[in-house]
Amino acid sequence: MSGAAGRVGLVLVSHSRVLAEATEALARQMTGEAVTIACAAGAGDGGAELGTDATAIAAAIERVCGPAGAVVLMDIGGAILSAETALELIDPAIAARTRLTGGPIVEGAVAAAVRAAAGGTLDQVTAEARQALVPKAEQLGEAERPASAVVAATDAAAAAAVAATDAAAAAAVAATDAAAAAAVAATDAVALAATVELAIADPGGLHARPAARLITRAVAFDAAITLENVTAARGPVPASSLIALASLGARRGDVLRLRGTGRQAVEAVEALAALLQRDAPPAAPTAPPASCHAIPVAPGVALGPMVRLVRSIPEVPETTVDDPAAEAERLRRALDLAAQDLGSALRGTDILDAHQALLCDPALVDEAISRIERERCNAAWAFRQAIDAAAAIYRQLDDPYLRAREADVHDVGDAVVRALLGGAAAVLPDGPPAVVVAEDLTPSEAARLEPGRVLGVIDRRGGPTSHAAILLRSAGIPAVAGAAALVPDAGGARAGLDGATGEVWLDPDPETTIELQRRQAALRASRRPPGARDGRLRLACGREVELWANVAGPSDARVAREAGAVGIGLLRTEMLFLDRVDEPGEDEQAELLAEIFAAFAGAPIVVRTLDAGGDKALPYLDLDAEANPSLGVRGVRLSLARPALLEAQLRAILVAGRGHDIRVLIPMVSTAAEVSAVRAALERAHEALAATGAAHRWPVATGIMVEVPSAALMAERLARQADFFSIGTNDLTQHTLAAERGHPRLHALADPAHPAVLRLVRAVVEAGHAAKRPVSVCGEAAGDPGVAPLLVGLGITRLSMCASAFDAVEDALAGASFADLATIAEEALAVDDAAAARATHAAARRPG
Ligand code: PEP
Ligand code: MG
């Protein structure tokens, strides 16, 4: 009996052979052959009669008792006497390693076998058998003290693990997603602790068999594991005792918290969580749990505690200025910016008017300006003082409604201070990883969210192609947007979301929790392992489609390389310095770019020049307020308006690009003159570097983003100056359909599958092919499995997207030939709207 030799053996003594053998079979259901069990039962020939026999018991003990010892379980009366006699008949050394226990034979045998299989000592196995009735009694309300206390008291090592308060334990993380939790813990080489929460999906709860499997698996790891029933507030108990686990009373839907400490804590917790999820029988088809629908933004399923993103305000310096007139002007510009900021954050709410009125209230504005002029206070300090004075007035009012308006005054003050000082950091309260509820998440806030801390995002506003949404997708954070009607300002303890469908659940019930965990497990199972692809996928006809990556910083560059991206199709350089208050120096830019380029050494890298403006307001640029920022001085327009800024960036790109296959991409091109102006600036940057002898990349191919309808329509002319085209479907869709890309109510309209957008894509492909210019797509449509096949059907062979979309796009293209896709793309060009265009692809994939 391999594997059983070093473990405590069991002897089952019963008057009934049938009872003993059935008990053995029950125990073996839990442990298989891991434990040696012998039956000494019945009397007479073959044990056919009822009775017990001391010699048979002695022989059984000698058979099972190895160095670890043996435990004897007995049924009633004479069985005990016979077992005591047997001890006198055997070798005293064996007798010394044998324990007779008063534990119940059936429950005791099962519990003891599991503990023995898990490597329990003689004392632990004996104690386990002895206490085997406690959970039953507890469940029936007959217990004198809780089983968990009994077990913890008899298991010093495990009890110590439960009570661990060391630094490693303090660093534990909680998550509803085992992989996420493990990933977090694994990033901290010192913190050998991991925690995961999951709901019991098995209709029988955490019953004996899954519990036994858990225990036997747990011992394989160098880690102390505990379990806690969070729903019923029971435990924690060690994962080494069947009885302790039974005492958790874990029923279907209860949330269990698994916690591991020790060298292999992360692996152990991950493996046990997977085991518990795998053990659950497949759910019978049930009606999907009731949910509400928001806008799908980033795929993935999140479930966990809900926290609100709190916007913090920068410290206001109490300094004076030399030029009060310029400072007053700065304040006026900040008031305009704040009006814009609040306008988009509070759009559609009834407090917007009140906020806007406060922003031009003379009691605030005149007071602040007069402080600037009289006392030379800086603008932020002056406005803060005016706000504090106004707030004090509201605070003294009798009417509670009016008194509550003090909050509005502070809100307005914060918006102005943010506009003046920039760098407002939204902060998450300390705690375990959580689902974050945000109010119109900004790109800089999205950039700061750490995937290890954030299970998912519910943006009460926003839309799928906002830059915040793009950043969430690149970070692999599941997200939905436009959820104001579904998620109140306050309240709710837990939340669930499916970023692919847009479903949102507040305080999900056990059924929903199980369903969400099933979706998470399915997603994990479908994920391709790193290194599984080379970024080139072949259609059924042999045509190759390349998967390139959109990248916003060094970490997603590394992830994209690992995911097999052919190259970087779009490096959004404006994302590198989103929360900077001061302009990054040329060297600093070159350093950061070099880090990103290094991740794609030897591969093609398309670097886009600064695409600031619109919804990417870089604080250090001190941009003027505009009525229509997405149609304003943004992208290449802004770069050309600030030549020093542009040329510094171009020099940094060329210097960092030395030894790399870089190409420069110009954003928001609407005229040919813009392209020639940037080309001239690039020449100047090269000459300046050459003049100082600075090593740099030269020459570089220079392409344009086609994201303004005029550029798409003029592609044939622009091809004379552009070495390649990259179609930005996000802006192209926004401008073609006149539908703001982040607008929560226009997202159905701002759909890149709209035939108008597809027709422009076709025009660019044709112009590019005629002029032999490569054409790729780097807007979010490239990573949208409902649109990517249409793009390929239109002749696109290079799709650039967030690496997390590779799997879905590969699946969407699997098995199709170019001819199939060209046919559906042709149909999509001829329908009325985006929904019908998407349907052409969906219909082609339906069997039959
Ligand atoms: C686009 O507009 O499609 C694009 C890729 O650029 P961005 O999303 O950065 O504006
Ligand atoms: Mg764009």
pLDDT tens figures, 674-722: 999 999 999 999 999 999 999 999 999 999 999 999 999 999 999 999 9
Strand locations in 599-640 (E): 604-608
Q: What is the pLDDT of residues 549-578, one digit of tens each?
A: 999 999 889 999 999 999 999 999 998 877
Question: What is the spatial distance between Cα 737 and Cα 757, in angstroms, rounded to a whole number?
Answer: 8
Q: Examine the pLDDT at 383 and tell me if it is beyond 90.
A: yes
Q: For position 839, what pLDDT does the model report? A: 93
Question: Binning pLDDT at 50, 70 and 90, where does residue 291 land?
Answer: low
User: Hey, what amino acid is at 578?
Assistant: L
Which ligand 1 atom is at minimum distance from the Cα of 572?
9
Q: Are 306 and 457 in contact (CB under 8 A)?
A: no
- Nearest ligand atom owner, CA of 469: 1
Question: What is the spatial distance between Cα 399 and Cα 1, in angstroms, rounded to a whole number?
Answer: 83
Query: Mean pLDDT throughout 762-785?
Result: 97
Strand locations in 442-488 (E): 454-459, 479-481
Question: Binning pLDDT at 50, 70 and 90, where does residue 349 land?
Answer: very low
Tell me which of 5 and 500 has the higher pLDDT: 500
What pTM did the predictor assign? 0.58
The finding on whether 572 has its CB within 6 A of some atom of ligand 1 is yes
Question: What is the spatial distance between Cα 706 and Cα 727, in angstroms, rounded to a whole number?
Answer: 5
Q: Are 609 and 648 in contact (CB under 8 A)?
A: no
Q: Examine the pLDDT at 163 and tell me if it is beyond 50.
A: no
- Give the range with max mean pLDDT: 253-267, 471-485, 576-590: 471-485
Q: Are 478 and 455 in contact (CB under 8 A)?
A: yes
Q: Which of 146-150, 210-214, 751-755 has the lowest mean pLDDT?
A: 146-150
Q: What is the pLDDT of residues 712-742, one digit of tens each?
A: 999 999 999 999 999 999 999 999 999 988 7
Q: For position 180, what pLDDT does the model report? A: 37
What are the two backbone dihedrals, phi and then psi, of residue 758, each rounded to the nearest 5 degrees?
-60, -35
Q: Examine the pLDDT at 624 and tell me if it is beyond 60.
A: yes
The finding on whether 731 has its CB within 6 A of some atom of ligand 1 is yes
The finding on whether 611 has its CB within 6 A of some atom of ligand 1 is yes
Q: Examine the pLDDT at 2 and tell me if it is beyond 50.
A: no
Q: Are 809 and 785 in contact (CB under 8 A)?
A: yes
Secondary structure (DSSP) of 313-356? -PPPP--B-S-HHHHHHHHHHHHHHHHHHHHHHSTTSTTHHHHH
Residues of the chain with pLDDT > 70: what percent?
A: 88
- CA triplet 603, 608, 611: central angle to 5 degrees? 155
Q: Ligand 1 pocket test: which of 467, 572, 631 has the largest number of ligand atoms within 8 Å of its C-beta?
A: 572
Q: What is the pLDDT of residues 419-471, one digit of tens each?
A: 888 755 567 777 788 999 998 787 767 877 887 789 999 998 877 777 778 88
Q: Which of 101-110, 181-190, 588-597 has the lowest mean pLDDT?
A: 181-190
The finding on whether 574 has its CB within 6 A of some atom of ligand 1 is no
CA of 618 to the centre of ligand 2 (A): 16
Question: Binning pLDDT at 50, 70 and 90, where does residue 344 land?
Answer: low
**CB neighbourhood size of 407 (10 A):** 12
Q: Ligand 1 pocket test: which of 609, 630, 707, 726 has the largest number of ligand atoms within 8 Å of its C-beta?
A: 707
Question: What is the spatial distance between Cα 402 and Cα 391, in angstroms, rounded to a whole number?
Answer: 11
Q: What is the pLDDT of residues 20-49, one digit of tens each?
A: 999 998 888 888 888 899 999 998 887 888
Tell me which of 27 and 246 has the higher pLDDT: 27
Q: For position 516, what pLDDT does the model report? A: 92
The finding on whether 730 has its CB within 6 A of some atom of ligand 1 is yes
CA of 549 to the centre of ligand 2 (A): 15
Side-chain-facing half-sphere of 846: CA atoms under 13 Å: 7
CA of 550 to the centre of ligand 1 (A): 10
Q: For position 846, what pLDDT does the model report? A: 59
Q: Examine the pLDDT at 171 and tell me if it is beyond 50.
A: no
The alpha carbon of residue 303 and the mean position of all alpha carbons in its chain are separated, in whole angstroms, by 10
Query: Mean pLDDT over all residues of the chain?
Result: 85
Catalytically active residues, by annotation: 467, 778
Which ligand 1 atom is at minimum distance from the Cα of 727?
3
Q: For position 201, what pLDDT does the model report? A: 75
Q: Examine the pLDDT at 609 and tell me if it is beyond 60.
A: yes
Q: For position 187, what pLDDT does the model report? A: 34
Give the CA-trace dihedral at 250, 255, 261, 262, to 10 degrees.
80
Which ligand 1 atom is at minimum distance from the Cα of 470?
8
The finding on whether 615 has its CB within 6 A of some atom of ligand 1 is no
Question: Binning pLDDT at 50, 70 and 90, where does residue 5 land?
Answer: low
Give the CA-trace dihedral at 528, 529, 530, 531, to 10 degrees.
-90
User: Whose CA is closest to atom 1 on ligand 1?
Assistant: 728
Closest CA to 329 of 372, 268, 280, 266: 372
Question: Binning pLDDT at 50, 70 and 90, where does residue 1 land?
Answer: very low
Closest CA to 703 of 623, 798, 780, 633: 798
Q: Ligand 1 pocket test: which of 726, 760, 778 has the largest number of ligand atoms within 8 Å of its C-beta?
A: 778
The finding on whether 101 has its CB within 6 A of some atom of ligand 1 is no
Q: Which of 217-226, 276-285, 492-501, 753-762 has the lowest mean pLDDT?
A: 276-285
Tell me which of 247 and 346 has the higher pLDDT: 247
- Residues 130-138: contacts with CB within 8 Å, 24+ apart? 130/101, 130/102, 130/103, 131/103, 131/243, 132/103, 132/104, 132/107, 132/108, 132/243, 133/103, 133/104, 133/107, 134/243, 134/247, 135/243, 135/246, 135/247, 135/249, 136/107, 138/247, 138/249
Query: Mean pLDDT throughout 810-829?
Result: 95
Q: Give the 3-state secondary structure of 784-811.
A: CCCCHHHHHHCCCCEEEECHHHHHHHHH
Q: For position 177, what pLDDT does the model report? A: 39
User: Hey, what amino acid is at 67?
Assistant: P
Q: For position 532, what pLDDT does the model report? A: 73
The alpha carbon of residue 429 and the mean position of all alpha carbons in its chain are separated, in whole angstroms, by 17
Q: Are 272 and 217 in contact (CB under 8 A)?
A: yes
Q: Examine the pLDDT at 178 and tell me if it is beyond 50.
A: no
CA of 445 to the centre of ligand 2 (A): 19
